[in-house]
Amino acid sequence: MEFGEFIIYVDESGDHSLTSIDENFPVFCLAFCIFKKSDYMEKAVPAMQALKFKWFGHDIIVLHESDIVKRRNAFHFLQYDRLRTEFMQDLNAVMAAMPMAVCGAVIRKDRLKSKYSSPENPYQLALLFCMEKAHTHLERWRQHEARCHIICESRSPKTAGFGKEDAALELEFRRIVAGDHYLQGPKELSAMPCFDIVFASKQANSTGLQIADLIARPIALRWLRPLQANAAFDIIRPKLIGVKAFP
């Protein structure tokens, strides 16, 4: 199978545990950022690099939404109102111009646990829903018969792609690709052989993964607290091709 024109970067917000659920954030959100490779190379990466050089003087910095919100580590300067306003204006402008399509899945863990006697892993459910949305997007572009890599941050940081959590995720991924998940329709119609998965180290300075990190929590908050002001989501909204809320 030839390589296609698209690439997908993935990140999450919240944890997928059903054992202990945070009542203040009882959701798990998975977000897919879908790029045409030409747009990613020519527009997305240069824009993010320019932002980093302007504000940090180098491009080794990794943008983490939680660090920005909490104004910690390399983002401690955001405690100053003027600098925070200017930085957020620049970051928002970059994100608004980002040439991507976005899909997501928001799993209400509290409702999932109360509704089903043997609830499925929230990450695995979210992965299925996002892959289905992404596959539909590729079909629109007639790219569903070409190889499309899905880049995920490793859940086993010391052995990226080879740890137990990564192995479990890849097994579920392969099951969905084959059309074997019980929520999928007939296998011949629901298989998605175009997809392949790649695990990236948490230390990888990937522009795509950082963009995905910046959008996952705003999507989660939009479905958790829909009436709350959410400027970050307002920027993402025009790029959305679908968000599945479950159950």
**In the β-sheet with 195-200, what is the strand arrangement from edge to edge?**
195-200, 147-153, 3-13, 27-36, 101-108, 240-246
pLDDT, tens only, 101-125: 999 999 999 999 999 999 999 999 9
CB-based contacts of 167: which residues, under 8 Å, 6+ apart? none
The pLDDT of residue 159 is 65
- Mean per-residue pLDDT, 222-245: 98
126: pLDDT strictly greater than 90: yes
Q: What is the CATH number of the domain that holds 216?
A: 3.30.420.10
246: pLDDT strictly greater than 80: yes
- What average pLDDT is seen over the chain? 96
Q: Find out whether 148 and 195 touch, Cβ atoms under 8 Å.
A: yes
- Domain count of the fold of the chain: 1
Instruction: Write b or e for each residue in 108-145: b if 16 or more Cβ atoms lie within 10 A of its Cβ, otherwise e.
Output: bbeebeeeeeebbbbbbbbbbbbbbbbbebbeeeebbe
pLDDT, tens only, 153-180: 998 766 666 788 899 999 999 999 999 9
Q: What span, in angstroms and rounded, lies between the C-alpha atoms of 47 and 184?
A: 38
Q: Find out whether 148 and 6 touch, Cβ atoms under 8 Å.
A: yes
pLDDT, tens only, 54-91: 999 999 999 999 999 999 999 999 999 999 999 999 99
187 pLDDT tier (thresholds 50, 70, 90): confident
The pLDDT of residue 157 is 65
pTM of the model: 0.96
The residue segments making up the domain with residue 204 are 3-246
